[in-house]
Amino acid sequence: MIIKLAFKELFVKWKWSLIFIFNLAFGFIGFTTVLSFQNAIEENAKANSKQILSADLAISSRKKIPDSEITKTENYLAKNKINYTRTKVTEFFAMVTSGTRSHLVLVKAIDNLYPLYGELILTRSTIQNHSPKPIFDGPSIWAYSELQGILGVEIGSTLKLGSLDLKVDDFITKDATQTFRLASLAPRIFIDSTWLEKSKLITFGSTFTEAYLYKFDTDSAANIQKDLFALINDPAIQIDTPTTASEDSARQLGFLTDFLNLVALVAILLAGLGASYLYQVFARKKVKDFAIFKILGLSYVSLVKIYILQLIVLSFLVCVVSYIGSLSFLPFLQWILSSLVTQTLDVQIPVYVVGLTLALTFIASLIVVGPSIQALNKVPPGLLFKDDNNEIFKSSKNIFSFVVALCLMGFLTLLLTRSLMMTSIFIISIAGLAALFYAVGNGIIFLLGKLPIRFWVYKYAIKSLQRRKSTSLVLFSTIGTAILLLNLLPQLKHSLKDEFLTKGNSQLPSLFLFDIQDEQIDPLRTLIKQNNKDISQLSPIVRSRIIKINDTPYERKVDFSAFKTREEERDARSRNRGVNLTYRDHLSSSETLTDGIPLSEYKGELPGLSLEERYAGRMGIKLGDIIEFDIQGVEIKGKVINFRKVKWASFQPNFFISFGSGVLDDAPKTSIGIVNGLNDAEVASIISQVTKNLPNVSVIDVRQLIKDLLRVSDQMTLSLELMAYLSLITGFIVLISLISIQLQDRRWEINLFKILGSPNSSINLNLLFEYGVVVLFSVVLGISFSFLVSFLTLKFTFDAEFSFNFKDSFYISLAVILIAMVIIQYMTSVYLSKRSNEILKESS
Amino acid sequence: MIEVENLKKSFKQSENAIEILKNLNLNVKKGEKVGILGQSGSGKSTFLSLMSGLDAPDSGDIRINGVSTTKLSEKDWTDFRAKNISIVFQQYHLVGHLTAAENVMLPLEILGVDEKQAQTKALTLLEEVGLKNRVHHFPHQLSGGESQRVAIARALITTPNLLLADEPSGNLDQETGQKVMSLFFDITSKYQTTTLLVTHNEQLASRCDVVYKLSQGKFEKL
């Protein structure tokens, strides 16, 4: 009987069921799509993990790895009778030149055994472990194909790298170690490592990464990694397996998928808000049925069983619709992101995503429906027969639902982004925005009520808004939030472009020079002077490692647990990697002192330290703390005496940690500096001169770099915009559902207006005005809040200035208002076309 | 005042046409109260729908104050109804988000009467129906009897030429129903409103000036 009753109601009320299903399903389409895409990236990285690392195990460091550590490793392998093949790779940034053109590249110096796994696909051949490698036959290279366009070179052309003239043997079209194009701002070139010494590019103090790659005859890389972590104490030495390498690789797109997930979660929240309202309307209508069932002797438990069964059916159908929606939506997302992913992804909707969606739709439905069902049980059947049952569904229940929904959102955000910080910011933002929408929406409705409008068409539209406040506020919030998301991205993009490309032209440096050896400083100054410019903000850079904070060892953190938050991962990475120090007494133009005293005024016993405030916050370091560093084997202590705020987007030489002058003067170091105020011709000329005369100094064309970064960010934001549009569609579906349900509910009121003699045009105007006001103010609120959120994001994340992008906001607003009005007009005309007599019969 | 001539109306049920009203004729003088009795399904409500222009007859004519309403377009009917006809329903049909006063004012405001004027008249009428203290209450805050009194006040605010009442006490208990109907007769007499009262309550119908029984699609004068 329970099954019959449950299905019968859904079947008879099929229109309502469909609206409910589509409402929630649209919210879940984005979620299912992004999760499937994320899964494809991770699966691809896992499947290609050995190729990505090109080894079973890699021991690497951003300095020369002592021979003793390699001996220790190989003794361990011999002791455990593990046969291995070893290859060594050295990576560093350098400039290559062809004719008058120069460009920054990442040089990979390899030996004849590279790659241990995977392959390099060249235009004429494929290079594997035992393939013949022509670059070992003479001074030649393989280069990423991008260099063809950048330097105008062909196969057989000669490139200058340091003191070497190298022939281009072939171009690489696919490199198995590179999964994503995000990091390809400096294209790679591969050379025979024996040429490294001859190039004289790596000297004492140079920045480079050294890696020993191992291929084993056993499959126990994870155990070997654990044992080696215990054996090799130097935290600056990293030990990777294919698993950690694939995780690192997938993380490259992590921030993008995180943001995509957040937008998808917002869509779910919007859909949930709409569905919650729909269910309340539904519950109000079934109050009498509930009372009848109760009086007929059906227990509350049986009634709950009916509703739970209905929810299971509805959740299943929501899942099916969102699955079909995702199947249609996935190719768009994949197409948009295809330029960022070098691998061909096999994107399918995995079973676990379907299961998760089903579980979530059920939980979401339960959150939406639970309070209504619970409310019904507490009311005596007699009261349920009363016409007015508004009191049964008090707003406190909605707030409870909202809090439970927020908790679920928090859990999902943490699960998807694995970042406590991102989860906190997201949940606080959602709660804050909900409060803002509620407060401002309430304020607007209150103020509208104060307007001295006498014409009944407008007057009663406003009264309806005031007296059906919960509907008005749900519409305000859903449409407003969707608009906020939609307008936020163009605002951020516009402001960042304005900051970097327009204003930036005068404020940003033209060139960023690094890897400058001490003896190259004077010749470099002279060279720049000859071009009537100066090298400025020349800052020493010293590689170091933190060994103690307040006498507590800052040791390597190795965590093999399955679930690690991003903060834990970052902490582990920062412990395992070194830190760049500088020394100077004054602040640079992009720095501001926020706490403590300037380094120049400090007279203490221990050397003074200045820390970037957010870095200090992440590390939990306070003023007065003592930090001990290892600088090339020498231990130096410093006392934190101030915190600085750094404008990182200025592209000036900036550092997390700075000593005062004098302490590090004798430490092995290189320098970095900038050159300002160059035009395009001067940039090309100086890069060419520097590369020719000081070959191991690397130069970045800052404007070109920013253009490249913005190009990548454009592709990323396009995918986010796509998700934002999905949220907007969800908002529209909520709008359609709510208006449809409301008009159905209000058909008697509309009919009454007709019977009382009001022409259709007046009723139409009344409804258009009522819903139009909601849409208009939602758009205004959404746009205003998007300005506020982008202002705050720019200020606190990029430290950039907000600049208005009125054009995009205007078009978005206009489009949304027009679409919404068309929807409203269509739906009201459907109800107005019904004959009064038919509606009269329905109620008699 | 009202002349109904050879009014016919039938409905299609499957493939058969059921004739609800067969050559109906009726004459009502100005200020007269006509009671129409009939069993459920006899066509009472259909007759009221035709009288109010909410439905169109198959044939025949209805003339109200000399205007042949069967020739009116829907737009003209709306205008004519607003100026000449009011209806009181069994289910009250008050607008849920408007107060008692606002519900009563509504027909006048639709006719373009100034808000202040409409409000003054609504308050007077509400006082007359004994709801002086309930003017700012919403329908869900009113009892059934009070709601119907608001509906009566709303029906009379335009001083209609014809008041159509469809079982106005049908939703009320006997005592409340009697009180409301006493008020209904008092107030319609006071305003000399021509009234067609459809009911199945003979006692109630007997309070009208003329009573007809609608049976098998025809009026029979009682």
What is the value of ipTM here, to two decimals? 0.77
Structure tokens at A824: 């409203």
Over residues A58-75, the pLDDT tens digits come to: 999 887 888 888 999 999
Of B94, B106, B163, which to mutate for an interface test with A (greatest number of A Cβ within 10 Å)?
A: B106
Taking the Cβ of residue A762 and every Cβ of chain B, the question of whether any pair is shorter than 8 Å is answered with yes
Chain A residues within 8 A of B111 when measuring between CB atoms: 757
Please indicate, yes or no, whether residues A241 and A364 belong to a single structural domain of this protein.
no
Residue A688 lies in a domain: no
Residue A332 lies in a domain: yes
Residue A515 lies in a domain: no
Segments forming the whole domain that contains residue B108: 2-221
* In the predicted structure, residue A562 carries a pLDDT above the cut 70: no
Of A464, A832, A839, A840, which to mutate for an interface test with B (greatest number of B Cβ within 10 Å)?
A: A840
Determine which of A289-298, A434-443, B62-71 has the lowest per-residue pLDDT on average: A289-298
Please indicate, yes or no, whether residues A90 and A200 belong to a single structural domain of this protein.
yes
Last residue of a domain, one of A655, A675, A695: A675
Please indicate, yes or no, whether residues A84 and A30 belong to a single structural domain of this protein.
no
Residue A519 lies in a domain: no
Averaged over A629-650, what is the pLDDT? 86
A760 CA: distance to closest CA in chain B (Å): 8
Residue A690 lies in a domain: no
Last residue of a domain, one of A251, A273, A301: A251
CB contact under 8 A, B107 and A756: yes
Taking the Cβ of residue A754 and every Cβ of chain B, the question of whether any pair is shorter than 8 Å is answered with yes
Residue B121: the pLDDT is: 92
Q: What is the 3-class SS of chain B, one letter each residue? A: CEEEEEEEEEEEECCEEEEEEEEEEEEECCCCEEEEECCCCCCHHHHHHHHCCCCCCCEEEEEECCEEHHHCCHHHHHHHHHHHEEEECCCCCCCCCCCHHHHHHHHHHHCCCCHHHHHHHHHHHHHHCCCHHHCCCCHHHCCHHHHHHHHHHHHHCCCCCEEEEECCCCCCCHHHHHHHHHHHHHHHHHCCCEEEEEECCHHHHCCCCEEEEEECCEEEEC
Pick from A463, A836, A843: CB nearest B97? A463
Taking the Cβ of residue A755 and every Cβ of chain B, the question of whether any pair is shorter than 8 Å is answered with yes
DSSP 3-state assignment of A34? helix
Helices (H), A628-701: 680-693
Residue A526 lies in a domain: no
* In the predicted structure, residue A341 carries a pLDDT above the cut 80: no
Residue A576: the pLDDT is: 60
Residue A183: the pLDDT is: 44
Taking the Cβ of residue B45 and every Cβ of chain A, the question of whether any pair is shorter than 8 Å is answered with yes
Please indicate, yes or no, whether residues A101 and A13 belong to a single structural domain of this protein.
no
Please indicate, yes or no, whether residues A375 and A428 belong to a single structural domain of this protein.
no
CB contact under 8 A, B95 and A749: yes
The percent of residues in chain A predicted with pLDDT above 90, rounded, is 10
Name the nearest CA neighbour of B128 among B142, B113, B149, B109.
B149
Taking the Cβ of residue A835 and every Cβ of chain B, the question of whether any pair is shorter than 8 Å is answered with yes
Please indicate, yes or no, whether residues A155 and A271 belong to a single structural domain of this protein.
no
Please indicate, yes or no, whether residues A758 and A825 belong to a single structural domain of this protein.
yes
CATH code, B54: 3.40.50.300
* In the predicted structure, residue A226 carries a pLDDT above the cut 50: yes
Averaged over A351-369, what is the pLDDT? 83
Over residues A85-109, the pLDDT tens digits come to: 999 999 988 888 888 788 888 899 9
Pick from B54, B95, B107: CB nearest A836? B54
Cα dihedral across residues A486, A491, A492, A498: positive or negative: positive
Residue A627 near residue A549, CB atoms below 8 Å = yes
Give me the total of CB pairs closer than 8 Å, taking one residue from chain A and one from chain B: 69
Please indicate, yes or no, whether residues A664 and A744 belong to a single structural domain of this protein.
no
Residue A501: the pLDDT is: 65
Chain B residues within 8 A of A449 when measuring between CB atoms: none
Please indicate, yes or no, whether residues A827 and A765 belong to a single structural domain of this protein.
yes
Q: How confident is the model at residue A335 (pLDDT cuts 50, 70, 90)?
A: confident
Q: How confident is the model at residue A380 (pLDDT cuts 50, 70, 90)?
A: low
Of B54, B83, B156, which to mutate for an interface test with A (greatest number of A Cβ within 10 Å)?
A: B54
Domain count along chain A: 4
Q: How many CB atoms lie within 10 A of CB A395?
A: 9
Residue A104: the pLDDT is: 86
Averaged over B186-209, what is the pLDDT? 88
Q: How confident is the model at residue A36 (pLDDT cuts 50, 70, 90)?
A: confident
CB contact under 8 A, A755 and B81: yes
Residue A424 near residue A566, CB atoms below 8 Å = no
Last residue of a domain, one of A207, A229, A251: A251
The percent of residues in chain B predicted with pLDDT above 70, rounded, is 99
Please indicate, yes or no, whether residues A324 and A336 belong to a single structural domain of this protein.
yes
Taking the Cβ of residue A425 and every Cβ of chain B, the question of whether any pair is shorter than 8 Å is answered with no
Residue A164 lies in a domain: yes
Averaged over A219-234, what is the pLDDT? 84
Pick from A387, A454, A757: CB nearest B111? A757
Mean pLDDT (chain A, rounded): 81
Of B46, B76, B97, B172, which to mutate for an interface test with A (greatest number of A Cβ within 10 Å)?
A: B97
Q: How confident is the model at residue A190 (pLDDT cuts 50, 70, 90)?
A: very high
pTM of the predicted structure, to 2 decimals? 0.70
Domain count along chain B: 1
Residues 6+ apart with CB under 8 A from B7: B21, B23, B24, B25, B47, B50, B57, B59, B60, B61, B62
Please indicate, yes or no, whether residues A756 and A729 belong to a single structural domain of this protein.
yes
Residue A711 lies in a domain: yes
Please indicate, yes or no, whether residues A85 and A213 belong to a single structural domain of this protein.
yes
Averaged over A203-208, what is the pLDDT? 68
Segments forming the whole domain that contains residue A544: 534-675
